[in-house]
Amino acid sequence: MISRKNNPESGFKKGKKKVMSDKNTYDASSITVLEGLEAVRKRPGMYIGSVSTKGLNHLIYEIVDNSVDEHLAGFCSHIYVTLEKDGSATVSDNGRGIPVEMHEKGMSAERLVFTTLHAGGKFDDSAYKTSGGLHGVGSSVVNALSTFLTVRVKKGGYIYEDKYERGVPVIPLQDGLLPVVGKTKETGTEINFLPDDTIFDRTRFKGSEVMSRLHETAYLNPELTIEFEDRRGEEVEHTTFHEPEGIRGFIKDMNKSKDAIHDVIYFSGESEGVAVEVAFQYVNEFHENVLGFCNNIYNAEGGTHLTGFKTMFTTVINNYARQLNVLKEKDPNFTGADVRNGMTAVVSIKHPDPRFEGQTKTKLDNQDAAKVVSKVTGDEIVRYFDRNLEALKNIIGCAEKAAKIRKTEEKAKTNLLTKQKYSFDSNGKLANCESKDASKCEIFIVEGDSAGGSAKTARNRAYQAILPIRGKILNVEKASIDKVLANAEIKTMINAFGCGFSEGYGNDFDITKLRYNKIIIMADADVDGAHISTLLLTLFYRFMPELISEGHVYIAMPPLYKAMPSKGKEEYLYDDKALEKYRKRHKGPFTLQRYKGLGEMDAQQLWETTLDPETRILKQVEIEDSRLASQITEMLMGTDVPPRKAFIYERANEAILDV
Ligand code: TTJ
């Protein structure tokens, strides 16, 4: 650690920027470097996933991963991560320090690391490089996206310093070398950077998320200690992450508030130069949580290591189930999903040359990884189960339960499709329209019976149908399919739309049967209304995604205010910005009515503001791509309320006139 031990008071002196002459900081190679960094600033999302808080936190991980590499190489035992009062982050380690001497390209090696895209791993002589993936190569990306970034390297008795602004070096080299700012007997690297607020939506790191990721890193590196400090609040918060139990501890932690049915099972092995470690435990819950890591980096999209583990595990459990006569001769095998019902697992491998594919380059692609993990799993898990029959029987019990539920769900779905397909007109609450010409028809899904009543009166019954729904419909992200299908509100909707739904076991959705060209969600302009809208969108996204991708889904934007001037025309105002503008442009007194909900409008007002195609405002729901939608659904349906609210209100501002 540099700043704390050696010179505890040495922060980074702000506001004292040196002015440099160009000839000191730029040379021929700098030109391509700048072009590279410019590309990063132009499309930050391509390099860090997004410019949301997630992408912001990612900057820290990109830097930390370098120190983890140094740990893997055997030269670093401690990493320090500090969220500073000024909004910057400091990451330091007690490794050997980034090389600072001249490199062949006429630049210090350190500058090459921070200004060249994909320079990671170049000076890294560890057996397991994280390079080749998205990680550990991102120091230059972080640099490009930072208002300032300061590097301090302790090495060979000296402390060297380098500084950048938006990726561009601002310190002149002296005979091609970095300036020395002090002496020390220690070694290590320290990086301090401030994310650029012209790039990121928000520049406040999320402490809890950073901590949870650092904790994860500690589990994966049992000999590493990570010190985290948040200095931004009144009180400084300090946490030490050191997890000598490794991934076993990781599993225990993930399952700590759950009902586990056996002790954590752990095994490891090595083959063809690939090291494999697996830990898992079953809990009394109906879902699986299997995480894959390669060289200590989480693989969000999974990959070959997980495939190898899952395939072998399924085979082994089916073999045991037959040996134990749980599965009879005529019974089909358990599916992979049956077998993993209730499983929490971490599969961590070390690979000398990892390759990644997929949308975010986080899916391990090495075929040998599947082979090796499968072999180690087959050998080790059988050894374990032969000696621990009790755990094995409990696990097979979970698979049996899962298979039973799966069969019930399959049946429930067939029933719904055959028996209830034609119950469309017998639906009490739906006030259908007269026209059968789907291209002209619209259906309004209205929150609440009273608003529903007004909407029924106000509508043009020739082509507008009204379906009132009560309260909150089921959160389909969390519910099992038979529950979803048993929900009266959801059944009514599926029947009304007329095109079935798709899920899991085959696609029965037929968009050509859709009875309405526009499906319009009509909810109050408040948090509850926003919640209802997201629940409906989740339902559509999961079971009828083409409704969204083909542009049939809209959100009605009821006005927030009605301005009634003493002279002149009344005007509906749809948000606070509109009100602000109205105040500026309108001279003279006016009365302002604020609508708290759709229920407060009479039929005429409802017609003018939300039903009449001539005057209403609709926001068409779009899916830019399915990945984004899936993330949003997850975000919207997660337990975190603030980002959800922010998202909905952001979108509301994008509302466009539908003419
Ligand atoms: C690589 O091999 C030669 C001696 O130095 C090794 C090295 O680069 N070590 C190293 C880099 N330790 N820590 C880093 C590092 C730390 C942070 C916080 C950020 C970056 C970009 C690198």
Confidence grade of residue 179 (pLDDT, cut at 50, 70, 90): very high
Regarding the beta carbon of 139 and ligand 1, being less than 6 Å apart is answered yes
The least confident of 434-443, 507-516, 634-643 is 634-643
Residue 64 CA: nearest ligand 1 atom is: 18
Regarding the beta carbon of 605 and ligand 1, being less than 6 Å apart is answered no
pLDDT on residue 83: 98
Using alpha carbons, select from 460, 462, 463, 465 the residue that is nearest to residue 603.
460
* Rounded Cα–Cα distance for residues 316 and 329 (Å): 16
Alpha helices for 488-555 (secondary structure H):
488-497, 527-543, 545-549
pLDDT on residue 180: 95
Q: Which residue has the tokens 């040196």?
A: 18
The per-residue pLDDT of the chain, averaged, comes to: 83
Backbone angles phi and psi of 107, in degrees to 5? -140, 155
Tell me the CA–centroid distance for residue 336 and ligand 1, in Å.
42
SS3 for 172? Answer: coil
The least confident of 29-33, 218-222, 379-383, 613-617 is 29-33
pLDDT on residue 649: 43
Confidence grade of residue 104 (pLDDT, cut at 50, 70, 90): low
Backbone angles phi and psi of 403, in degrees to 5? -65, -40
Residue from 503, 508, 528, 571 carrying the catalytic annotation:
528
Residue 410, pLDDT > 90, answer: no
Comparison of pLDDT for 74 and 652, the residue scoring more = 74
Confidence grade of residue 537 (pLDDT, cut at 50, 70, 90): confident
Residue from 93, 447, 489, 575 carrying the catalytic annotation:
447
* Rounded Cα–Cα distance for residues 181 and 189 (Å): 14
pLDDT on residue 165: 97
Residue 116, pLDDT > 70, answer: yes
pLDDT on residue 656: 36
Measured in whole angstroms, how far is the alpha carbon of residue 514 from the centre of its chain? 32
pLDDT on residue 501: 77
Residue 151 CA: nearest ligand 1 atom is: 19
* Rounded Cα–Cα distance for residues 440 and 399 (Å): 49
Q: Stretch 567-592: mean pLDDT, rounded?
A: 87
- Euclidean distance between the first and the last CA atom of the chain, given in angstroms as a whole number: 62
Residue 191 CA: nearest ligand 1 atom is: 18
Regarding the beta carbon of 95 and ligand 1, being less than 6 Å apart is answered yes
Helix 527-543 to helix 626-637 angle (10° resolution) is 140
447 is catalytic: yes
524 is catalytic: yes
499 within 8 A of 514, measured Cβ to Cβ: yes
pLDDT on residue 474: 66
Where does residue 554 fall: left (phi above 0), alpha (psi -120 to 50 degrees), or beta otherwise? beta
How many residues in the chain?
Answer: 659
Comparison of pLDDT for 501 and 313, the residue scoring more = 313
Residue from 38, 197, 386, 526 carrying the catalytic annotation:
526
The least confident of 17-21, 68-72, 187-191, 443-447 is 17-21
Counts of helices then strands in the chain (DSSP H, E): 21, 25
109 within 8 A of 231, measured Cβ to Cβ: no
Tell me the CA–centroid distance for residue 75 and ligand 1, in Å.
10
pLDDT on residue 623: 61
Query: Hey, which residues does 279 pair with through a beta bridge?
Result: 266, 346
Residue from 93, 524, 575, 608 carrying the catalytic annotation:
524
Regarding the beta carbon of 98 and ligand 1, being less than 6 Å apart is answered yes
526 is catalytic: yes
List, for residues 343-393, the tens digit of each pLDDT value. 999 999 999 999 998 767 789 999 999 999 999 999 999 999 999 999 999
* Rounded Cα–Cα distance for residues 28 and 517 (Å): 59
pLDDT on residue 617: 85
Confidence grade of residue 23 (pLDDT, cut at 50, 70, 90): very low
Tell me the CA–centroid distance for residue 54 and ligand 1, in Å.
24
Measured in whole angstroms, how far is the alpha carbon of residue 586 from the centre of its chain? 44
Residue 105, pLDDT > 70, answer: no
List, for residues 585-613, the tens digit of each pLDDT value. 888 888 998 888 888 888 888 998 899 99
Regarding the beta carbon of 93 and ligand 1, being less than 6 Å apart is answered yes
